[in-house]
Amino acid sequence: MAASSTLDKSTTLRGLTEAEAAQRRQQGQGNNVVLSTSRSYADIIRSNVLNAINIILFSIGAVMIGIGRVGDAVTSVGLIGLNILIGIYQEIRAKQQLEKIALLTRPKVILVREGQERTVDPTEIVLGDLIRINTGDQMVVDGVVVGTGNAELDESLLTGESDLIQKAVGDEILSGSFCVSGSGYYEVTRVGSDSFANKLTATARQFQIALTPLQHEINFILRLLMALALFMGTLMLAATILSQTPFMRQVQFAAVIAGLIPNGLFLMVIIAYAMGAVRIVQQGALVQQANAVESLSRVTVLCTDKTGTLTANRILYDAVHPFEKTQAELEALLADVAYSQTTTNKTSEAIMNGLQGRRHALLDEVPFSSRLKWSAVALDDEDRRGVYVIGALEMLQPYLRHLPAEADTTLAALSAEGKRVLTFAYAPDPVQLHDAEGAVMLPDLSLLGLVTFTDELRPHLKETLSSFIDNGITVKVISGDNPQTVAALAKQAGFPGDLSYVSGTDLADMSATAFAQAAVDSTVFGRITPQQKEALVDALRSQGHYVAMMGDGVNDVLSLKKADMGIAMESGSSATRNVADMILLGDSFEALPAAFTEG
């Protein structure tokens, strides 16, 4: 049963009545879109049966039946049929596993009806429904912001733009975006196949089958033998017409020519693929397309995103670096500030996970936003009084009365270590942080210190990277973050030697030749757009590399489809899983070396 609660009395928003919702559903205004997890059963059967090679082989079988060689025809066509059945079975198993994953990762929504909030499945939404937004929620339908609240959304999975978007009353909400901070409500304006995300991923969901080098070689040999058989058949036909060869002798000639087609070769290949796929599943990876097993053995370059692949998409509190107060005093103050915020984000969550604090009386608050790049609280009780601000130094510098001489050098040194660095500042008097029109304002501040955070690396990452290097696979990191920070993180993860890095801004100014050379020479790529990510994969492939791309977001779809081998995380977006050749179950990055070895 769906959980329910009474709507906050501070808002007059009540949503639809159950009767109104039922009426709209009857009118076809429900969110009834079928979420495709991969190819349909019909597509799987069609791709395995109706390909050029099978059609030719079945035609040869029909001819053999026509000339009375039924036994040979049954043997020949039977092998092809067994090949088809094994391929269909393997791919249907992968489809069913993907459907289970999609069901487990399906987002829930907080729906408001008749003044009551309840958590429901997205299929219960109808046009005009009222949905509550909280930090961390994914938007499943389109809508318009209504009522009070202050929410900031990440639309990068849809647009490729890294900037967070502040949403005010009347602003449009796009399905597929995430609430990074704040909370609020929005009214549903588009559902089902009309929603932005469903329109965008309609083409992204299309699974493309690419032949491996071995399959290309086999197909070439088969075409060559078929051409030879056709040539010999033509000669035989001419000879029989001229020499009046008996019919049974013609049949024998036809049987010899048909025997040139190596039917058993295809069966051996597909059985090898199927056995490899089964063993790879045991290692923690799901093969969606049978020939991906061979692709694993061909990979020379593995490109990976940072967030969600090398890292666990979480930041950890590291330390405070005080300019005023002792470290213990500053940590206690920092913890109290984080616990007193009413809207959380990854930064405040990391602080609360790392430190123990207490909630204090809140006079006013400014949630974190990408536009401001800071958050602030005004506390007013006996234990904590004043305005406390956490954010980027470059954004807070205009408000700082004094900047210690060592601040810049300390910040640069910490950033070079791959750490995220924020400023912690305060003003002694608790004041309002918004003027009469609602505009944000800050008093003059004093710098208390710097706060550092680290990205949580995935388990066994160093051992995994070492295995890639031992197997001659070059690993490249392609990220939207600062290239210097990513390079430092890659160093922590176990990348050997001095890492060369390049930014997306630099790549944008390069010629095609320089771009291709940078793709080969550099190990870390930062501030990269989805289009540049796709171009980097294409540049590596054009220079003879067999490229695997690993990602988890919709913004990785283009590069996954461009790569020779696409690898997705189980927790990634459904669109990413749908186009990938292989899915890492449980996001187990450490399963890759064993999978490559199996390939």
pLDDT on residue 354: 94
What per-residue string of b and e applies to 260-289 under the rule 16 or more CB within 10 Å gives b? ebebeebbebbeebbebbebbbebbbbbbb
Q: Residue 527: phi, psi to the nearest 5?
A: 55, 45
pLDDT on residue 7: 47
Strand partners, 455: 315
Low-confidence ranges of the chain (pLDDT < 50): 1-11, 104, 160, 203-207
pLDDT on residue 357: 93
Q: Are strands 446-457 and 420-427 parallel, antiparallel or unpaired?
A: antiparallel
| Cα 584 from Cα 290, distance rounded (Å) | 15
Q: Residue 523: phi, psi to the nearest 5?
A: -105, -35
**CA angle, 535 then 536 then 537, to 5°:** 90
- Give first-to-last CA distance, the chain, whole Å: 45
DSSP sequence for 128-189: T-EEEE-TTPBP-SEEEEEEEEEEEEE-HHHH---S-EEE-TT-EE-TT-EEEEEEEEEEEE
pLDDT in tens, 36-91: 555 677 877 887 777 666 776 677 677 667 666 677 677 767 767 777 787 777 67
**Sign, CA torsion 543/577/313/508:** positive
How do the residues of the chain divide into helix, strand and coil, expressed in percent and rounded to 5? Answer: 45, 25, 30
Q: Are 420 and 453 in contact (CB under 8 A)?
A: yes
Q: Residue 98: phi, psi to the nearest 5?
A: -65, -35
**Domain-by-domain residue ranges, the chain?**
4-13+110-204, 41-103+209-273, 281-312+458-598, 314-456
Q: Which residue has the tokens 């196949």?
A: 193
Nearest to 34 by CA among 192, 174, 143, 158: 192
DSSP sequence for 39-76: --HHHHHHHHHSSHHHHHHHHHHHHHHHTT-HHHHHHH
| Cα 570 from Cα 296, distance rounded (Å) | 18
Structure tokens at 335: 């913890």
State yes or no: is 163 an active-site residue. Answer: no
Q: What is the 3-state secondary structure (H, E, C) of 385-441?
A: EEEEEEECHHHHHHHECCCCCCHHHHHHHHHHCCCEEEEEEEECCCCCCECCCCCEC
Catalytic-role residue among 72, 142, 305, 552? 305
Q: Are 327 and 355 in contact (CB under 8 A)?
A: no
Is 314-456 a CATH 3.40.1110.10 domain?
Answer: yes
Asked if the domains 4-13+110-204 and 314-456 are classified in one and the same CATH topology, the answer is no
Rg (C-alpha) for the chain, rounded Å, is 30
pLDDT on residue 195: 85
| Cα 260 from Cα 258, distance rounded (Å) | 5
pLDDT in tens, 403-436: 888 888 898 888 878 788 999 999 999 999 988 8
| Cα 76 from Cα 58, distance rounded (Å) | 9
Is 281-312+458-598 a CATH 3.40.50.1000 domain?
Answer: yes
| Cα 384 from Cα 377, distance rounded (Å) | 11
Q: Which residues contact 325 (CB under 8 A, 6 or more apart)?
A: 333, 448, 449
Amino acid at 59: S
**CA angle, 209 then 211 then 212, to 5°:** 130
For domain 4-13+110-204, the CATH architecture is Distorted Sandwich (2.70)
